[in-house]
Amino acid sequence: MSNQHTNLKKINIELLCLMLEYGVKRLVENYRYIDELNVFPVPDGDTGTNMKITVETGYEAIKKQSFEDIFLLGKTFTRNLLLGARGNSGVITSQIFKGFFKYIPEQTKEIDISMLVMCFAGAKETSYKAVITPVEGTMLTIIRVVSEMLCKDEKKIDNIEQMFEKIVNIAEQTLIKTPELLPELKEAGVVDSGAYGVCRIFEGMKYAINLYTGTVNSAKPTSSSNEIQETKSSSNEFVDNNEGFGYCNEFIMTIGSRVEASQKQKEKFDEHKFKKQLEKMGESIVFVRDEELVKVHIHTPSPWKVFEYASNFGEFNKVKVENMTLQYLEKNPGLTLQELFARSNPSSKPHEDIEINNTSDITKIIVTTPDNKTAELFEDKFDIKNVIKTNIVGNPSVTNFLKQIKATNSKKIIILLDDSNYFMSAEQTKKMLPKEINVEIIVTKNIAISYYLCLLFNSKISYEKNIKIMLSGFKKSESILISTAAKEGIFNKVKVRKNDFFVIFNKKIIKAGDNLFEISNSAFSFSIGKRKIRDIYLFAGDNAGDGEVKKISEFIEKTYKIKPNVFHTDIQNYPLSIAFIK
């Protein structure tokens, strides 16, 4: 672009859209690194992934649209940010932008420096309010310090370029200081991952301003590898290629085979049940079996579910996955993804609001589960139909919760979250519901405690009484999680080596070592001590050997005179999830 826009005094709709575009792109380019900055050594660092999914959902809703004013742009962007928000980092990101657009009135065509200062003040205010106990040294600190700096220096700022130069500089300086504000960061030797993500968004916005004013090379920075390259043409005529949507998947599998010695023995293969399950997962199924080999062709929007299910019975000799939706677009030049969906299903609208008109007074439970086996356990044991499988959806978004709430058809709902990182999405969902829908959120932090609370639930008593009983039971429970370290370091003065087992008790690492049996014994001694325990529930994950679990169970029975309730699952990252009831 030419330099006719230099010395900008205001941001118009075109520039703001460009700033959001490059803010999103810069974050997406760095999301894997942001994941790696995760302080805890649990191999599920997902701050970057959660922020990426959140901002991409917001941007997808605005990138093909034109807006009459900035108010409508902000309303659309922030609404879809919230619907796609995942994890605490995603929700806080959505609230930063919600606050940013909060004070922009309708019919606003441009934002000047004074209004931008107010926008950042709104971002600080709204994001801090979204967190029950705000913690400094996080992304909240970045937005607070930036806002305070802008308020202080407003009269010294001459133009938009200078303003965002200041914003990026102060954000980076604040990021460097985050380890001094959070001991966990200093101990781990890293900056805060969410704060790093916010800095990347600001950096992308600054780049967009420079691109707009012609003060940088017009070539765009390297884009994310997963961006869809769009082909433009003068024709938008729809051609039905009769190939369907989603993914075309083919694989050849050897029944009973394994790829690692550490893997558990595969399940017995039942051809009839296997085909029945495939029918639930997709269509256009072709199944061929030759002794120990199986070849499958299936169309499905969720290929990972098929591969995960099939891997219970053997391992893959060959796998092929093709994106049929992109094939449609390639054969129909000029047709956009949104147009394709609209024409194939005219009644659907991307990101349309979900209406909740639940009528039943019967109390229902929604539970998050970390794997399919645990989900089946809750469905079979407690007849809970509304299960969010986080091994499939990742950190549940607001949309995930809304859909499950709607599916209950109940006005009285109890949500059990086995991970505290899901709370903010659930809480934001609760705020969006009609006032006649009652939702109680209990953050169990452990699937074993979620199971125990479901045992206390009684469908024959009132919603209020169930909540009282379950909360009382929750207070009498304690949680132990044993994970496998993804990296080494010193955490809470405990030295952890990569691939060590380590114990999490009361949000802190208390012990680490390479022997699961010894580590679990130490965990019991530390957390239980000599207290009398009424029950113990133990969920064994996918990398806890049957022999080890049996040995641990026998130790518990001998030491505490209690036979633990043991469940074998496919939970990733946590060999043992344990709840003991006082």
Cα–Cα separations (whole angstroms), residue 286 to 112, 368, 482: 61, 33, 42
pLDDT tens readout for residues 205-222: 999 999 998 876 544 443
pLDDT tens readout for residues 541-564: 988 888 999 999 999 999 888 899
Kindly report the CA angle at 149 between 145 and 154, in degrees rounded to 5? Answer: 150
Tokens 């007849």 identify what position?
Answer: 383
Chain CA centroid to CA 261, Å: 32
pLDDT classification of 331: cutoffs 50, 70, 90 = low
Query: Which DSSP state fits 187?
Result: H
Distance CA 580, CA 481 (A): 12
pLDDT classification of 313: cutoffs 50, 70, 90 = very high
* pTM across the whole model: 0.70
Q: Is 578 helix (H, G, I), strand (E, B) or coil?
A: strand
Tokens 């805060």 identify what position?
Answer: 192
At position 317, the amino acid (one-letter code) is: N
Q: String of b and e for 60-77 (b: at least 16 CB within 10 Å)?
A: bbbeeeebebbbbbbbbb
Compute the average pLDDT of residues 406-426: 94
Distance CA 138, CA 182 (A): 8
At position 18, the amino acid (one-letter code) is: L
At position 28, the amino acid (one-letter code) is: V
Distance CA 19, CA 69 (A): 16
Distance CA 292, CA 19 (A): 56
Q: Would you state the structure tokens that stand for residue 121, as one six-digit string?
A: 């003040």
> What's phi and psi for 259, nearest 5 deg?
-110, -10
Residue 52 near residue 204, CB atoms below 8 Å: no
At position 35, the amino acid (one-letter code) is: D
Distance CA 275, CA 312 (A): 14
Concatenated DSSP letters of 420-488? GGGHHHHHHHHHHS-TT-EEEEEE-SSHHHHHHHHHH--TTS-HHHHHHHHHHHHHTEEEEEEEE-SS-
Kindly report the CA angle at 158 between 154 and 164, in degrees rounded to 5? Answer: 75
| pLDDT greater at residue 352 or residue 403 | 403
DSSP-based helix, strand, coil % in the chain, nearest 5: 50, 20, 35
pLDDT tens readout for residues 244-262: 567 888 888 899 998 887 8
pLDDT tens readout for residues 360-414: 999 999 999 999 999 999 999 999 999 999 988 888 999 999 999 999 999 999 9
Which residues lie below 8 Å from residue 465, measured CB to CB, with a gap of 6+? Answer: none
| pLDDT greater at residue 264 or residue 312 | 312
pLDDT tens readout for residues 127-160: 998 887 888 999 999 999 999 999 999 999 999 9
Q: Is the dihedral of CA 227, 233, 238, 240 positive or negative?
A: negative
Distance CA 150, CA 519 (A): 51
Cα–Cα separations (whole angstroms), residue 525 to 444, 480, 485, 506: 22, 11, 21, 15
Q: Determine which helix (DSSP H) or strand (DSSP E) holds 371, and give its type and residue range.
A: none
Compute the average pLDDT of residues 81-93: 89
For the beta sheet containing 293-300, the strands, ordered from the edge strand earlier in sequence to the opposite edge, are 283-290, 293-300, 247-255, 314-323
